[in-house]
Amino acid sequence: MSSGNHSFVTEFVIVGFPGLQPEFYGLASAVLLIVYCCTLLGNVAVLILFATHKVLHKPMYIIILNLVVSDVLFSTTTLPKIIARYWFQAGAISFFGCFLQMYLVHYFGSVTSFLLLIMALDRYVAICFPLRYPMIIKNSTIHILNVTAWIVAKACPLMLVIRAYPLPYCDSNTILQCFCDHISITKLACTDRAPYSFPAFVAAMVVLLGPLVFIIYSYCSIIVAVLEIASTQGRLKTLSTCSGQLIIIALYYLPRCFIYLSSNIGIIFSTDLRIVIIMLYSLLPPMINPLIYCFKTKDIKQTLMKRFKKSTAP
């Protein structure tokens, strides 16, 4: 019996994709390993660029640095275990380890949501109040906001764990997911989930929709400000400073909103398809984001071009 609750379950087993045939386990683990390696290489490259080039020590790139750290930590929390499950058939995870993974999964997701809010704030001030931007958005201000995001993001995941951990788990211990999260764990509880699932849903909406409301407002204001620019070239130049951020925000929010809305309007997915969608929106952005940083942000792109020219110069 696990200490701290009345559960007969001492460990959980992460199933991953229930419909995946054993002959494809090697392929699945190889694909996931490639995703993890690409995520690490791309994000570490961005970290090295930031550390070695002072030109990148600006508010926007400080926010990107925090996103990089969050992406790496999220991928490291989730991918090694599911890779081991398919490569070595090591799907078992301890009772405490599963709840720790659940906390970290929701924590890093919350951090990313708040960081995207800060990113939108940066663009909002830069375009709507360009003359005040240097006074309002300083490196010190962004550092304070980033630290606040990392601290505030602890609240909701901690609440989820505190409420879910004492539940009685006395039946199945198989988790139909690629990592431990609140829904997949509490489904296994031998009790009515309603008193626990609704507060969890409200917490998710606060973390997801709270920042999203401001992000939508900020970019609507940005569009209005851009339309007031006389020249077409000026409009395109201004919008280009937001394109990378918009792609990153869309990759994070659109799939999540789709999953939440589809669940509430009665659209039913097969278990495997639902897991695939969750894995895509959870793990592809950390792998793709470094490419967006490199090709859609001016200073990083110029820094990379300079390094490339130096390395190819005779």
Q: Tell me if 89 is assigned to some domain.
A: yes
pLDDT digits (tens, 9 = 90+) for 178-228: 999 988 888 888 887 777 777 877 888 888 888 999 999 999 999 999 888
- Among residues 131, 124, 123, 142, the alpha carbon closest in space to that of 66 is found at 142
- Please report the pLDDT score of residue 145 as a whole number: 97
Q: Output the CA torsion sign for 59, 62, 66, 68.
A: positive
Residue 82 lies inside a defined structural domain of this protein: yes
pLDDT, position 2: 41
Give the total number of structural domains in the chain. Answer: 1
**CATH code at 229?**
1.20.1070.10
- Dihedral angle computed from the Cα positions of residues 182, 183, 187 and 193, in that order, rounded to the nearest 10 degrees: 90
Q: Which helix (H) or strand (E) holds 276?
A: helix 271-296
pLDDT value at position 273?
85
In a domain, 1, yes or no: no
What are the mean pLDDT values of the chain's consecutive 10-residue runs (314 residues total)? 56 91 92 95 91 88 94 95 92 94 95 94 92 93 96 93 88 88 87 76 84 92 88 82 83 82 71 85 88 78 75 62
Tokens 């211990």 appear where?
173
Q: Are 14 and 175 in contact (CB under 8 A)?
A: yes
Residue 215 domain-assigned (yes or no): yes
Selection from 241, 294, 244, 249 nearest residue 126 by Cα:
241
Tokens representing 90?
Answer: 């090591």
**pLDDT score for 263:** 64
Domain containing 43 equals 11-301
Residue 313 resides in a domain: no
312 within domain boundaries: no
Q: Is there a domain that residue 3 lies in? A: no
Residue 308 lies in a domain: no
